[in-house]
Amino acid sequence: MCVAIPGLVVETDGIVGKVDFQGNILNVNMAIVDAKIGDYVLVHAGCAIEVVSKSRAEEIAQIFAELESIYNES
């Protein structure tokens, strides 16, 4: 099992893309996905592993926010 974080592709250059994770822009290996600027991708260990819809990316981000809230309560 892996945990993948959703982000928005803001730039592509060959197999490397810049992905925006809630304001943090990181270089991501895009070799195994066919993503373009404006797509949402799931990223694990610095590699984009899947292109997802905006609604799915938002749903996953909300789940992480809920988990963070629960963690911070304890």
For the stretch 11-59, pLDDT in tens is 999 999 999 999 999 999 999 999 999 999 999 999 999 999 999 999 9
Asked if residue 49 lies in contact with residue 17, where contact means CB atoms within 8 angstroms, the answer is no
Domains, the chain, with CATH or none: 5-73 (2.30.30.140)
Q: Is the pLDDT of residue 68 over 80?
A: yes
pTM for the predicted model, two decimal places:
0.90
Question: What is the rounded distance in angstroms from the CA atom of residue 15 to the CA atom of residue 64?
Answer: 27
Asked if residue 28 lies in contact with residue 16, where contact means CB atoms within 8 angstroms, the answer is yes
Q: In the prediction, which pLDDT does 71 show?
A: 87
Residue 29: C-alpha distances to residues 20, 26, 33, 52, 71 (Å) = 13, 10, 9, 16, 30
Residue 22: C-alpha distances to residues 1, 7, 61 (Å) = 24, 7, 9
